[in-house]
A and B are shown apart, each in its own frame.
Chain A
């Protein structure tokens, strides 16, 4: 079930009413309802893959309960590895099997021997990378004794399958979300209203910005050899806003929906395109994944402690693994490696934590230094996104070369005019995001203190914009990860 569908528009109010009215605020019933609703939500795509979520939930529930009892270090470690192997095994099979097979075949062929193994017709279960990481975080935290194992299987199942964030995050930590399933939830009017506002803004980002950008980004990337330099650059720009609008829009809807049910999910985006360096960008982009890798991979590897070689190694590992998490394609690995290259100079000169505060906080505009730093970071990010979007490395390479071909195309106004509506929408979007960059989401504080008629007018304007500028329906990009 997609967030931007009629199905969800019916499903959400129905679950909301059942949750608050029919369960009579009974915690167990509410949790049970969340599990049922989440399984329906997921099963709407393909009910067969529900068994994977259930299996994952049972494995981690049982392993963690055993971890709670077991004191012997080696046995505890064995239990942890059972969970890791099963979870990553499933992820590996569904997501990476054919990739590894193809590369093995290519490697053998390179050395002159052929192996004849056929790839399998494997369908990637929606959201497997997200819930696998979420449930893994629980077992690892229990292993590290940061969290006591739960005895409540329904609460645990609700934590693993919680429908607002099941298929595309934010990837929640058990330490943050699971306790919320144990606590009595009461309806909070202000929280619910705020949730609706965030849903509205998320829909705007997805339907207006991402889907409109996607239409052109797809056209340009799919026929990149037919386009001039400036069109290719615009294509990369469109994809840059498509992926941000798509993914952060999804996160906003997920967070807003959770708030309607009395839950707080972690923030996933913090205006990343206003970052002044790549380190800041990665503190603001897909925060739940970055911090997951930081806590469960980077720090266990030694983090930035140790010598220069260790720092470089760890940085490359975390970025490449993060790239690979996105998909079984060399393009994602190069995308990760490229970000590692961007990040290294900052790490090695100890300047990776220079920009912590919001840019130009309390000011209308950034100063020239901040502006150029943002522009440079944005440019580097756009370049990296080309690898992310391209079909393969060769496609990305030719795409980038193409940007520098026919420089005269950059002064052809007609090309920009062709994309005038989507360019204006992007500009409007940047302005709104800039104004609201201090909030949790762009319109969090915009109009909040206005009188009701004016406030409603703002909401109506956003809704009308959503209807008026609805782009061609595109699937959420991150569903494929």
Chain B
């Protein structure tokens, strides 16, 4: 019996070491979220969905504001405002005072596809990384890799797509994307069709999500200044958003009231380039980041 157990332990040591070593290879190419769960807790945060994840570049903020802002935004599936995202934000925040927080908003981030939009047990994010990763500042984050990379462990070594790279500061860079008008318009048309035919019909405003947005802002207010931002999107996308929530600014009026300032950039939609109508192209993302940073500076 003892020999049996000893042999098993001896047998398992190399494979355990190998697995551990494999975890160290995981990086920004592994998937679009992993790195955010491996960095230390942060004082200054950008929160929101993929628009913020791809659009707001912390390097620019550092240059202009002289602070390290961490982009803790995911996707509309992972991180619309809600209990799970709220809990994850709490874990990522280091509870230091004098922080700067950029809270990005749009109709999707306070909506849901559930039959009952206020039944948070049915929210999509409940089974996703923000909900199932208990430690958000661990390197390597074995829990994240085990739970969220199932079926894709080989991606750690192969990094199947080099087109997405998640920086250490949380910015998700989309690389090598064709930006000629034909390719760009095709992607935009596809995205708009998908949102209009698939997403729009099932999207409903959620009071619960709005309450969590307010709760998030109130929490951040205890630790610093909160800046509320609505990022620009393609003109076709804003039409859809205006249809699902025509009075968006009224809906979030309490959030505006709670924040230090609110910047609605959707009036300048046509000034920027989008990879797919929903996300800013990186050059435009840089411009938008500069505008937001200057706006924060002027409000400080």
Instruction: Say which residue of A187, A196, A463, A470 sits within 8 Å of B15 (CB atoms).
Output: A463
Does any Cβ of B come within 8 Å of A472's Cβ?
A: yes
* Cβ-defined contact, A192 with B4, below 8 A: yes
Q: For B4, list chain A residues within 8 Å (CB).
A: 187, 189, 192-193
Q: For B1, list chain A residues within 8 Å (CB).
A: 20, 187, 189
Does any Cβ of A come within 8 Å of B248's Cβ?
A: no
B89 → chain A closest CB, angstroms: 26
Given A20-B1, A192-B4, A193-B4, verify A469-B11 contact (CB < 8 Å): no
**Bound Cα distance from A425 to B152, whole angstroms:** 16
Q: For A468, list chain B residues within 8 Å (CB).
A: 153-154
**Bound Cα distance from A20 to B8, whole angstroms:** 16
Q: Mark A191-218, 1 if CB is under 8 A from B, else 0.
A: 0110010000000000000010001000
* Cβ-defined contact, A470 with B11, below 8 A: no
Q: Mark A174-187, 1 if CB is under 8 A from B, else 0.
A: 00000000000001
Does any Cβ of B come within 8 Å of A6's Cβ?
A: yes
Q: For B151, list chain A residues within 8 Å (CB).
A: 211, 215, 470-473
The residue of chain B having its C-beta at the shortest distance from the C-beta of A467 within the complex is: B153
Instruction: Say which residue of A20, A189, A196, A467 sits within 8 Å of B19 (CB atoms).
Output: A467
B25 → chain A closest CB, angstroms: 13
**Bound Cα distance from A472 to B3, whole angstroms:** 36
Instruction: Say which residue of A187, A456, A469, A473 sits within 8 Å of B154 (CB atoms).
Output: A469
**Bound Cα distance from A467 to B155, whole angstroms:** 11
Does any Cβ of B come within 8 Å of A2's Cβ?
A: no
A142 → chain B closest CB, angstroms: 36
Does any Cβ of B come within 8 Å of A460's Cβ?
A: yes
A207 → chain B closest CB, angstroms: 9
Does any Cβ of A come within 8 Å of B150's Cβ?
A: yes
B63 → chain A closest CB, angstroms: 42
Within 8 A of B (CB), among A455-481: 456, 459-460, 463-464, 467-473
Interface residues on B, range: 10 to 19
The residue of chain B having its C-beta at the shortest distance from the C-beta of A189 within the complex is: B4
Within 8 A of B (CB), among A437-468: 456, 459-460, 463-464, 467-468
Does any Cβ of A come within 8 Å of B66's Cβ?
A: no
Q: For A187, list chain B residues within 8 Å (CB).
A: 1, 4
Interface residues on A, range: 20 to 34
* Cβ-defined contact, A472 with B150, below 8 A: yes
Instruction: Say which residue of B11, B19, B150, B152 sits within 8 Å of A456 (CB atoms).
Output: B11
A218 → chain B closest CB, angstroms: 13
Q: Mark B152-169, 1 if CB is under 8 A from A, else 0.
A: 111000000000000000
Instruction: Say which residue of B3, B8, B14, B154 sits within 8 Å of A460 (CB atoms).
Output: B14
**Bound Cα distance from A53 to B4, whole angstroms:** 34
Does any Cβ of A come within 8 Å of B146's Cβ?
A: yes
The residue of chain B having its C-beta at the shortest distance from the C-beta of A468 within the complex is: B154
**Bound Cα distance from A468 to B18, whole angstroms:** 12
A65 → chain B closest CB, angstroms: 36
**Bound Cα distance from A341 to B1, whole angstroms:** 52
**Bound Cα distance from A305 to B207, whole angstroms:** 70
* Cβ-defined contact, B3 with A470, below 8 A: no
**Bound Cα distance from A303 to B151, whole angstroms:** 47
**Bound Cα distance from A463 to B152, whole angstroms:** 15
Q: For B22, list chain A residues within 8 Å (CB).
A: 467
**Bound Cα distance from A467 to B145, whole angstroms:** 12
B12 → chain A closest CB, angstroms: 10
Q: For A470, list chain B residues within 8 Å (CB).
A: 150-153
**Bound Cα distance from A196 to B5, whole angstroms:** 12
A52 → chain B closest CB, angstroms: 25
B83 → chain A closest CB, angstroms: 23
The residue of chain A having its C-beta at the shortest distance from the C-beta of B10 within the complex is: A456
B160 → chain A closest CB, angstroms: 12
The residue of chain A having its C-beta at the shortest distance from the C-beta of B3 within the complex is: A189
**Bound Cα distance from A187 to B4, whole angstroms:** 10
**Bound Cα distance from A464 to B15, whole angstroms:** 8
Within 8 A of B (CB), among A210-262: 211, 215
Within 8 A of A (CB), among B4-34: 4, 8, 11, 14-15, 18-19, 22
**Bound Cα distance from A469 to B8, whole angstroms:** 23
Q: For B18, list chain A residues within 8 Å (CB).
A: 464
The residue of chain B having its C-beta at the shortest distance from the C-beta of A193 within the complex is: B4
* Cβ-defined contact, A459 with B11, below 8 A: yes
Given A187-B4, A193-B4, verify A460-B15 contact (CB < 8 Å): yes
B293 → chain A closest CB, angstroms: 41
**Bound Cα distance from A196 to B7, whole angstroms:** 12
Q: For A467, list chain B residues within 8 Å (CB).
A: 19, 22, 153
**Bound Cα distance from A459 to B7, whole angstroms:** 13
Q: For B19, list chain A residues within 8 Å (CB).
A: 467
* Cβ-defined contact, B150 with A473, below 8 A: yes
Q: For A456, list chain B residues within 8 Å (CB).
A: 11
B149 → chain A closest CB, angstroms: 9
B176 → chain A closest CB, angstroms: 23
The residue of chain B having its C-beta at the shortest distance from the C-beta of A452 within the complex is: B7
A200 → chain B closest CB, angstroms: 11
A410 → chain B closest CB, angstroms: 29
The residue of chain B having its C-beta at the shortest distance from the C-beta of A460 within the complex is: B15
Chain B positions within 8 Å of A, measured between CB atoms, are 1, 3-4, 8, 11, 14-15, 18-19, 22, 146, 150-154
Chain A positions within 8 Å of B, measured between CB atoms, are 6, 20, 187, 189, 192-193, 196, 211, 215, 456, 459-460, 463-464, 467-473
13 pairs from A and B in contact (CB 8 Å cutoff): A20-B1, A187-B1, A192-B4, A215-B151, A456-B11, A460-B14, A460-B15, A464-B18, A469-B154, A470-B152, A470-B153, A471-B151, A472-B150
5 A-B pairs closest in CB distance? A472-B151, A187-B1, A473-B150, A468-B154, A467-B153
Instruction: Give 12 new A-B contacts, CB below 8 A, not counting A467-B19, A468-B153, A471-B151.
Output: A187-B1, A189-B3, A189-B4, A196-B8, A459-B11, A460-B14, A460-B15, A463-B15, A467-B22, A467-B153, A469-B154, A473-B150
